[in-house]
Structures are given as C-alpha cells and as structure tokens.
Structure 1
Amino acid sequence: MRTPIATDGRLDAAAKHPGLSDPRYLLRRRAIASLARGHRVGAPSPRVDYTEAEHRTWRTVHQRLWNAQREHACRAALDAREQAPVPADHIPQHAEVGLHLRALTGFDFTVAGGVVGNKRFLGSMADGYFHAVQFVRHPAVPMFTPEPDIIHDVFGHGIHLASPAFADVYRLIGDAAMRVQNKDVLQMISDVYWFTLEYGILDEAGIPKAYGAALLSSAGEICRLRQARIRPLDIRAMLATKYDISGYQPVLFSARSLDEVTTTLDGFLSALDDDSAPRYGRTAEP
C-alpha cells in the first residue's frame, strides 16, 4: 500500500501530533478525504475550497522548503522544480497541477482519500496517474505531518512529474506493478519505490543530495541527510532493510546519478514476475 509518511519527526512526535487528535481538524480532513470516495482513476478531481488558514500553512511551508531544497536537493530535482506547478501563494487544485504536468510529461494527479493499495497506487503510474490527496496538514505543526498531505504530494511528486527523466522512473514502477498480481512481489516493488522515489539521494561531488519526494517535502529531514547511514544503491539491500514510517529514515541509499537509478530499477523490475519473491528471500505471510 501507499505507506503513510511522517516527516520532520519521530514516533513520539507523530503520536502526539494534533493532526491525529484535534477534533475540528479531523472533521475537516475527513470531509476533504470523503470527496475521493468512489473516485475512478483518471476522473477529474473534485474542487476543494481551501480556507485562508490552509493557504497560510502552504505559504509558511513553501518559504522554508524552497530554501532548504535549494541547498540540499540534487540538480535534477532543482531543474524539475523550475517547471513544476508549485505556486508560492496558494494551494493548487489538482486540476491546476494536472494541466501543467500533462503538458510536460503526460502525468496527472488522480485523487486519493488516504492509503491506497499497492496494485492501484503503483499500477496507475503505468497510465500516467499519481494518486494524490487534497487535505492539508495541521496548521499548528506546519513542518511535520504524520501522513502524506497535498504539500508532500505537490512539493515532492509534483516536482518529480514535471521532469521526463523522473516520470520515466514512475512508469517503470507502474509497468511492473501492472504486470504482477502476487502481493509479496507488489510489496517488493513498494519497498523499492520507498527507498528511491520517496527517500532516494544522489552523490554530487561527494555531498548527499536529495531526490526522493519525502525528502523534498520535508524541511527538517532534507537538512540532515548526512546523519543517516548512507549505503550504495543496491536492490537486495533495500529489500532486506526495514524502514521507519514514523520519522526520520535511519538508512538511505545513494546513487551516482538519476541514470543509475533508472538503469538499476529497470534491471530489477523488468525481470519480476509472480514467482519472484523467493528469489529475493521474500515469502508470503501466514
């Protein structure tokens, strides 16, 4: 499934986050998420009338993230954001984002209300659709969200999908997910997706630079890349590495270029079939 992401915090911070306990916020979040009920992939996303407070949260995060990305994002991500639909003054509607992305790479946002199953979430990328939510994180903690919100989706995946090179990686993953049915193999694809398109980094002149969407959308985590244990890009190592969905990632995988990421993923994904799990030491849960 599309794993929840907690950026800029640890498990204890996530547990105490007002976004998980504020009744008024939860009512608003549920109302926005409910718009995705029964949504067909590729159908137009419903419009959300964001409040001024929600737009203010966006502007607060935009100011800090834009500066953090400038210092810590890789060149490919910085080049992509020059074309990306990331306005400084307001939360964009899905239609606004999609119109822009379709002209650049053929991708579009399709609405999600929250967690989406692996087959649908990953497989939709083959057809040029990325499941994105519409609700906004709690205003009291604008630099931390215990789950993906529209800031994560636009600042992370929206930047990616403005780049043909990144869009090709999404399609590689989508094609593989469409081809298989086995849940264990789909989870393998999801795990590799996590360590690359969500949390991947590149080595640029010996300095770790972020390209993963979760890093690009986290003002705190993108600034502390060197504090993680950085390992060379390796599919088997990724599949054997546990990850922390509730806070900073203790292990990150680094490639020398986006081309290396694409080539490595292509070699792994193109050979996958429904019988692949045992070859990687992955077995079905009871």
Structure 2
Amino acid sequence: MFEEAQYLAPVTRRADGGVEVELSRSHPGFADEVYRERRNRIAGLAMDHRRGDPIPEVEYTDEEHEVWRLVSRELSASHAEYAVADYLDGAARLKLPTERIPQLEEVSEALHPLTGFRYLPAAGLVPLRDFYGSLADSYFHSTQYIRHHSVPLYTPEPDVVHEVIGHANMLASDRFAALYRVAGEAARRVESREALEFVSKVFWFTLEFGVMHEGGALKAYGAGILSSYGEIREFRTVDIRDLDLVAMGTMQYDITHYQDILYAAQSMTQLEDVVGTFWADCTDDSIAALSASAKTP
C-alpha cells in the first residue's frame, strides 16, 4: 500500500468511539457527506478487525459497483497492451469479478490456494514495519473503500481498485508473490529506520512503479501503474532508467503526481536476481554502505 499517500486521509478514533477519516479539501469526496460517512464506517470495520477473524463485509452501493465496473473495463483494455505476462497470468488465475467489487475475504479465499497470500483490512495508514513485515507472513494490508464516483478514473489515495486490481493480480503470480514475501523478510530483518526506508523505496520503484522490457516493448508490472487509468498510458514517455538499487533506495519522489523517473528491468529474471537478491541478503550494514555510495562524488 502507498504508505505515504495515507497521510492525505489520516484515520482517528473519536472520543465517542466513532472513526473519522480526515479527507483533505482537495479530495473529490470532501464535500460529499454521504461519501464521508461511508468512509468512516468502512474504516471502522477495519479498525475493529483482528487477524484470524473473517474480514468484515462492506455493503457496497450500486453506484460504487458501477465505479468498479467502469474502472475494470478500462484497465483491462490497457493491461492487454501494457502489462507484463506474469501479471496477466496472475489475473487469469485469480479471475477477479468485473461487474462488482469483490469482498476482501473473497479475494483471500481465491488467492490463498494459488500463492499462500491472504488479505487484511486496513483503515488507513499502516506503519512501514507492520505493512512490509506482514508480507513475510503472506498477508497484504488493503483498504476497502472505493474512490469517489465523480472521478471514477482517478483517486488521490490507494483504494480497493489499487489494492485488488493492482496488487492481488500480482500476488496471484508465483514469481511476484515470492518477491513480495522476500521484501517483507527484508523489512523484518533490518533494524534502523533508514534501512527500512531504503527497503520500502526499492519496493516503491519496483512492485509499485516498476516497468520491464518484454517482447520488444516496455511493459508495466508495478501495481501503482497498472491500477491507474492515466499513468498506464503515460509511463513510456517519462525518464526510463536501468535498475539501480542505490538510486531507487535513495530517490526522493512525489506521490501527488505521476512518477517522472522509472527504473526498467531487462527481464523478470533480472528483477529477481537484482532486487530479489538484495531483499534476501540485505542488512543494516549493507544498506548503510549502499546509501553512503550514493553520497560519494
């Protein structure tokens, strides 16, 4: 999940026990009291959930299902042209519904027999170590709300479209699932905040916003690109660089705009060899050495 993006809508528990999702004034749903109340109720379901219990169901409205149908249709057409083969294979295995929003429990039940992953509901911000550490246990934290109906092809924060269409299809691929898991193991292994942030930035530029050369064309595999109607059509026009652990792990990026620098793997095998091996072997000391090399003239 986009850990940084959650700051756009922090979630708090009110004195009366209710839950408040604090949308920014620029959020499409800010002035919609009905939408805001639904966001509060959905966040409350996640806050009250305990791992091991069934994920609480959200009673989505017809309007919300229509947003899912529209976005699913538009993204599916783009995926056929722009997504890497392993993502498409995962989507074919998982067979997400396109006419309605699936419940997270339903996604978990379909995903677990494929790669061992399950979903956990998230109300909002999940601390870095908790989010990434859970990946080591084959759990993925996910929001359950869907973007505002006034702009169905845009969201300023990760919603169920991003979490499920973007990530679940990747998690249904054995090779991608293994990368998520080893990223979680890395996050659990390192101790310093600096090392954890390095691990998370590599995740950002790969499993969130990664691209890859495949079949003579540049394709996308990052969930952030593959769940964005706009960004999936623009990623080939930005500054494309070769995989570089030091650059990815130390790069400052802006979450409020399309990413203007992306790092391309030459193949799935190279991604596993470079990034997967880094996550499998990294320590605080090795990351400190990499970070120091970025500062060396």
How far apart, in 1, do the equivalents of 2:207 and 2:125 lie?
17
How far apart, in 2, do the equivalents of 1:176 and 1:42 lie?
24
Structure 1 residue aligned with 2:284 = 274
Pair 1:48 & 2:58 matched: yes
**Structure 2 regions of 5+ residues with no counterpart?**
7-23, 293-297
Structure 2 residue aligned with 1:3 = 4
Q: Deviation per CA, 1:75-131: give whole Å up to 9, x if none.
A: 111111111242111100011100110010010111111121111100001111000
Structure 2 residue aligned with 1:213 = 223
Secondary structure at the aligned position of 1:166 is classed as helix
Contact persistence 2:201–2:250 (CA under 8 A): no
Bigger relative contact order (CA 8 A; separation at least 6) = 1
Q: Which moved more, 1:14-23 or 1:216-225?
A: 14-23
Q: Counterpart of 2:115 in structure 1: which amino acid?
A: T
Q: Which moved more, 1:94-103 or 1:176-185?
A: 176-185
1:249, distance to aligned residue in structure 2 (A): 0.5
Q: Which moved more, 1:27-36 or 1:91-100?
A: 27-36
Q: Counterpart of 1:60 in structure 2: which amino acid?
A: L
Structure 1 residue aligned with 2:10 = none
Q: Counterpart of 1:117 in structure 2: which amino acid?
A: P
Structure 2 residue aligned with 1:8 = none
How far apart, in 1, do the equivalents of 2:229 and 2:266 lie?
23
Q: TM-score scaled by structure 1? A: 0.90
Aligned ranges for residues 240-251 of structure 1 at < 5 Å?
240-251=250-261
Q: TM-score scaled by structure 2? A: 0.87
Secondary structure at the aligned position of 2:43 is classed as helix
Structure 2 residue aligned with 1:133 = 143
How far apart, in 2, do the equivalents of 1:153 and 1:210 lie?
16
Q: 1:94 to 1:208 in 2, by over 3 A?
A: same
Q: 1:21 to 1:85 in 2, by over 3 A?
A: farther
Which among 19, 23, 33 is matched to residue 43 of structure 2? 33
Structure 1 residue aligned with 2:26 = 16
Which among 67, 87, 91 is matched to residue 101 of structure 2? 91
1:178, distance to aligned residue in structure 2 (A): 1.5
How far apart, in 2, do the equivalents of 1:86 and 1:229 lie?
33
1:59, distance to aligned residue in structure 2 (A): 0.5
Q: 1:41 to 1:259 in 2, by over 3 A?
A: farther
How far apart, in 2, do the equivalents of 1:26 and 1:62 lie?
24
Structure 2 residue aligned with 1:234 = 244
Pair 1:200 & 2:201 matched: no
Structure 1 residue aligned with 2:166 = 156
Q: Counterpart of 2:231 in structure 1: which amino acid?
A: E
Pair 1:142 & 2:162 matched: no
Tell me the matched-pair count: 275
How far apart, in 2, do the equivalents of 1:20 and 1:276 lie?
44
How far apart, in 2, do the equivalents of 1:162 and 1:204 lie?
20
Contact persistence 1:201–1:212 (CA under 8 A): yes
Contact persistence 2:213–2:267 (CA under 8 A): yes
Q: Deviation per CA, 1:16-51: give whole Å up to 9, x if none.
A: 331344333222112101111143344321111111
Secondary structure at the aligned position of 1:243 is classed as coil
Pair 1:105 & 2:115 matched: yes
**How large is the RMSD of aligned CA atoms in angstroms?**
1.9
Contact persistence 2:115–2:174 (CA under 8 A): yes
Secondary structure at the aligned position of 1:252 is classed as strand
Pair 1:71 & 2:92 matched: no
1:276, distance to aligned residue in structure 2 (A): 4.2
